């Protein structure tokens, strides 16, 4: 085929839509095993009881571009030296150009006791990161009466780095609304040395956690869950081997994540930690000029969010077309990422920033402040924008809107 897109998530769908419109029917193949396409940013709201799981997905067939060919299978082996991908069923797909858009792998199994805890019906351990577990979160919140509510951030790359603390703020607000807050101790245990990577927003979030009496433990990593005794074991990352145990009544776990195993196995395609080794500017592979990557599986050092995918999609598409036409690659990705940090049932801090972790805000107001307008945007405007525009290749992020909003005569 002319273009093989491996992965039918946000990035794969968006670029496949753009490319198949340009190249015509049958020129683009999308390799994707799933029946359902999930709008993952909604998982936070499902965990808080604001949305339902059925609101978050559509049939994969309905979101993939009509002009592209869908092969319902997964990649088992990449051979970029031979322009070939082998599928799990043993089929061989040869391509002229390859876009890797396989996302991240959730490694729940790497924390002893976690999967057992997540399999206990009506249990105290929950996780917003998987459609398999997301309904457990609001269930656990409703069942909670008193004690420790613990929220974790793993010692690994993650998608949407704001999500582990969004559910913390929603949970705190829920406990206040249901008159359970006075008997609850909330803990946010994060492996990071900071509360948030961008100081402008981290300063605002520190004010929120202080005002709401939330205990934050930096450089603290979950290493074991003991479901029989409702205990979580944490390690101090600054003093390896220094461990402590916390008794929990609610434990929300963000699992460790990595590039998918099949991707990591292709050493010529990935960097030392398993991500597709691309130029952070053009998103073209450093070694194979006919290979590009988009989204969470790429090595570009931006925050791994759906908003980044939107901004990357036009860069990848334009550079792909330039490569096909033998022209120099002209588009450069600025590292744009956005994270709507929901801080309760009616407020949100809209964080937007670039590679340098400098704020890159769309609206001409201080977005580090909690606002109802930004909450409504997260809850009601972003989902249709995703389904109708981004997946159809019609949304490239708010760059143009930002320029108009900050227009100076």
- For 209-257, write each residue's pLDDT tens digit: 999 999 999 999 999 999 999 999 999 999 989 999 999 999 999 999 9
Indicate whether 116 pLDDT > 90: yes
Residue 408: per-residue pLDDT: 53
- Indicate the domain borders of the chain: 3-104+259-332, 107-257
Q: Which two tokens stand for residue 28?
A: 């683009």
**pLDDT band, residue 406 (cuts 50/70/90):** confident
Residue 126 falls in the annotated catalytic set: no
SS3 content of the chain, % helix, strand, coil (to 5): 35, 25, 40
Q: What is the pLDDT of residue 29?
A: 99
Whole-angstrom Cα distance, residue 82 to residue 268?
12
For residue 276, give the DSSP letter: B
Q: Tell me the pLDDT tens digit for each residue of 358-379.
A: 999 999 999 999 999 999 999 9
Per-residue pLDDT for 272 more than 50? yes
Residue that is written with structure tokens 């120099």 in the block: 328
Per-residue model confidence as pLDDT tens digits over 298-345: 999 999 999 999 999 999 999 999 999 999 999 999 999 999 999 999
Secondary structure element (H or E) that encloses residue 31, with its range:
strand 28-31
Q: 3-104+259-332 and 107-257: same fold?
A: yes
Residue 276 near residue 174, CB atoms below 8 Å: no
Question: Quick one: which of 55, 249, 49 has its CA closest to 167?
Answer: 49
Which residues make Cβ contacts (< 8 Å) with residue 258, sequence separation at least 6? 104, 105, 107, 156, 157, 264, 273, 274
Would you give the distance in Å from CA 391 to the centre of its chain?
A: 16
What's the rounded Cα separation, in Å, for the pair 384 and 176?
Answer: 31
* Catalytic position from the list 160, 266, 297, 348: 160
Q: Provide the CA 246 distance to its chain's centre, in angstroms.
A: 28
pLDDT, tens digit, for every residue of 374-403? Answer: 999 999 999 999 999 999 999 999 998 898
How do residues 198-220 score in pLDDT, each as one tens digit? Answer: 999 999 999 999 999 999 999 99
CATH class of domain segment(s) 107-257: alpha beta
pLDDT digits (tens, 9 = 90+) for 76-104: 999 999 999 999 999 999 999 999 999 99
CA 71 to chain centre: 24
* Residue tagged active-site, from 13, 126, 297, 339: 339
Task: Report the distance separating Cα 402 and Cα 383, nearest Å.
Answer: 20
Q: Which residues contact 380 (CB under 8 A, 6 or more apart)?
A: none
* Alpha-helix residue ranges (DSSP H) falling in 87-162: 114-118, 135-143
Q: Which residues pair with 351 in a beta bridge?
A: 339
pLDDT of residue 409: 43
Closest to 217 in 3D by CA, of 280, 269, 287, 165: 165
Residue 348 designated active-site: no
Q: Looking at domain 3-104+259-332, does it have CATH number 1.10.10.10?
A: no
């Amino acid at each position: 085929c002319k273009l093989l897109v491996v992965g039918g998530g946000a990035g794969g769908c968006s670029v496949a839509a753009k490319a198949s419109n340009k190249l015509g029917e049958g020129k683009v193949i999308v390799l994707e095993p799933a029946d359902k396409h999930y709008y993952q940013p909604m998982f936070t709201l499902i965990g808080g009881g604001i949305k339902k799981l059925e609101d978050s997905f559509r049939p994969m067939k309905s979101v993939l571009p009509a002009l592209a060919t869908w092969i319902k299978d997964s990649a088992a082996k990449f051979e970029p030296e031979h322009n070939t991908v082998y599928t799990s069923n043993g089929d061989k797909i040869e391509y002229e150009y390859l876009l890797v858009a396989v996302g991240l792998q959730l490694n729940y199994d790497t924390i002893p006791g976690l999967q057992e805890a997540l399999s206990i019906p009506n249990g105290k351990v929950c996780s917003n990161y998987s459609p398999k577990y997301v309904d457990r979160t609001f269930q656990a919140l409703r069942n909670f009466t008193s004690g420790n509510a613990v929220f974790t951030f793993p010692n690994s790359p993650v998608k949407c780095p704001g999500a582990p603390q969004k559910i913390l703020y929603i949970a705190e607000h829920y406990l206040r609304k249901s008159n359970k807050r006075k008997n609850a101790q909330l803990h946010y245990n994060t492996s990071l040395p900071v509360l948030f990577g961008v100081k402008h927003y981290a300063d605002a979030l520190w004010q929120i956690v202080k005002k709401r009496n939330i205990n934050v433990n930096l450089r603290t990593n979950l290493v074991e869950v003991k479901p029989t005794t409702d205990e979580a074991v944490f390690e101090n990352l600054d003093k390896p081997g220094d461990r402590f145990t916390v008794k929990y009544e609610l434990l929300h776990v963000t699992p460790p994540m990595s590039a998918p195993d099949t991707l990591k196995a292709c050493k010529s395609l990935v960097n030392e930690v398993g991500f597709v080794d691309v130029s952070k500017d053009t998103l073209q592979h450093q070694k194979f000029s006919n290979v590009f990557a988009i989204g969470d599986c790429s090595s570009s050092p931006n925050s791994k969010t759906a908003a980044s995918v939107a901004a990357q999609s036009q860069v990848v598409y334009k550079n792909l077309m330039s490569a096909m036409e033998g022209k120099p690659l002209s588009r450069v990705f600025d590292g744009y990422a956005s994270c709507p940090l929901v801080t309760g049932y009616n407020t949100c801090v809209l964080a937007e920033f670039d590679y340098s972790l400098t704020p890159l805000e769309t609206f001409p107001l201080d977005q580090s402040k909690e606002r109802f307008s930004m909450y409504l945007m997260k809850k009601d405007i972003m989902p249709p924008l995703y389904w109708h525009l981004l997946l159809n290749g019609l949304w490239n992020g708010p760059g143009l809107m930002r320029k108009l909003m900050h227009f100076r005569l």
